[in-house]
Structure 1
Amino acid sequence: MSSMDSDTNDVLDAVGPRLRALRRHRGLTLADVSTTTGVSESTLSRLEGGQRRATLELLLPLARIYNVPLDDLVGAPRTGDPRIHLTPIRRFGMAFVPLSRRPGGVQAFKMIIPARREPLEPTPKTHDGFEWLYVLNGQLRLMLGERDLTLSPGEAAEFDTSLPHWLGSADGAAVELLILFDPQGVRTHIHADTHRPQRATSSSAETSE
């Protein structure tokens, strides 16, 4: 017997105990399942006991009554890999951890601004797009056009990146924030609380609502 045939048999042999466990977990009897699916009690009993080989015709109605994907009944591995591999990207002395991997559209990042003894000289830049950010930890200094703002944990900002802007630490300590960047410039719909006092050298920007 080939290893592939052996693997297939192992999978099919595990179907019966899995079906029995699902039925008991749902609090159903063989008679209940038989009435709902139209499969005879004897067939269900032999299927759960391993004396009857599972077929698609038997498994489909059982998947419906137990409300589980067909793959779950046979223990099939998930196709694809939904995990996001968090490999930091280092630019401008900062770390950007991608939180999304869909090409195009809105991109999500966790940004880490490291602690520094000497503050960096602000170097505002411009580029196409729209950005939304949310401060997780630390005190963020946001320079936006002529505005110089300080955002605390829990505060958010959104702005058109065609405006000169720069992000840094307001007090030299490390800062962590979440960033959503849309190269197409579509505005987000989440804003910070405008009623919270802002420690800034000028009036509040589009940081709040």
Structure 2
Amino acid sequence: MKELANLGLRLRAARTGRGWTLESLAHKAGISASTLSRLEAGKRQANLELLLPLTKALGIGVDELLTPVVEDPRVDREAWERDDATFQPLSPESSHVQTYKITFTPRPAYEGPLGTHGGHEWLYVLSGRLRLQLDDREIILHRGEAAEFDTWTPHAMSAVGPENAEIISIFNEAGVKFHTAVQ
């Protein structure tokens, strides 16, 4: 079973992450240190009789020791447009951090209220020139440049032109809600 392939490594990581020795975990789980050593090295077949006391002692579920099987790791999500930008999701919807390729069409500097939200934003310019407005400052970023900023700072982005600006942007959950919500 593929799910069991890295069980020993995950078991060792759970133990060492707590600063425990083989002997201390073996004692807490009521098994021998040599059995635990063989499990971690992949030289002993895992079974529930061994795993249940080990996971109980570690305070984790058996599923945390199993390698999830990913049939197809490709991200296949639909792009959408909002205002002057096209958003192409590059990470699964279930990810804790969301990554997008955003294409901005050129427009004059943003004149509305600048947005704020919790967290930080990181972006990388793939092509074109990006106008990043941070409070009362205007910064022009070129291809190959990156920026990272506290998103409590009022901010807005747009392409300077004449061509579109394409960026890769990484948001936390608050940033996803603010930047990608359909309005």
Q: TM-score, normalised to structure 1's length?
A: 0.46
1:162 partner letter? W
Q: 1:122 aligns with which of 111, 115, 136?
A: 111
Instruction: Give the structure with higher Rg (CA).
Output: 1
State the partner residue of 1:162. 152
2:84 partner letter? G
Q: Confirm or deny: 8 A CA contact 1:140 1:167 kept in the other structure.
A: yes
Q: 1:93 aligns with which of 75, 81, 84?
A: 84
1:106 partner letter? V
Structure-2 change in CA distance of 1:120 and 1:144 (3 Å): closer
Q: Does 1:105 align with 2:72?
A: no
- Secondary structure (helix, strand or coil) at the match of 1:177 reads strand
Query: How far apart are 1:127 and its partner, in Å?
Result: 1.4
Q: Confirm or deny: 8 A CA contact 2:80 2:86 kept in the other structure.
A: yes
Query: How far apart are 1:163 and its partner, in Å?
Result: 1.0
Q: Which runs of 5+ in 2 are unaligned?
A: 1-68, 176-183
Q: 2:73 aligns with which of 67, 73, 82?
A: 82
Structure-2 change in CA distance of 1:169 and 1:184 (3 Å): closer
CA distance in 1, matches of 2:70, 2:123: 33
Structure-2 change in CA distance of 1:107 and 1:165 (3 Å): same
Q: Confirm or deny: 8 A CA contact 1:130 1:184 kept in the other structure.
A: no
1:44-55, aligned counterparts within 5 Å?
A: none
Q: 2:125 aligns with which of 131, 135, 140?
A: 135
State the partner residue of 2:48. none
CA distance in 1, matches of 2:94, 2:101: 17
Q: Confirm or deny: 8 A CA contact 2:105 2:158 kept in the other structure.
A: no
CA distance in 2, matches of 1:121, 1:181: 21
1:1-209, aligned counterparts within 5 Å?
A: 80-115=71-106, 119=108, 121-123=110-112, 124-183=114-173
Q: Confirm or deny: 8 A CA contact 1:138 1:174 kept in the other structure.
A: yes
Q: Confirm or deny: 8 A CA contact 1:142 1:166 kept in the other structure.
A: yes
Question: Over aligned residues, Cα RMSD in angstroms?
Answer: 2.3
Q: TM-score, normalised to structure 2's length?
A: 0.52
State the partner residue of 1:62. none
CA distance in 1, matches of 2:121, 2:138: 17
Q: Which runs of 5+ in 1 are unaligned?
A: 1-77, 186-209
Query: How far apart are 1:105 and its partner, in Å?
Result: 2.0
CA distance in 1, matches of 2:118, 2:70: 36
Q: Which has the higher contact order (CA 8 A, sep 6+)?
A: 2
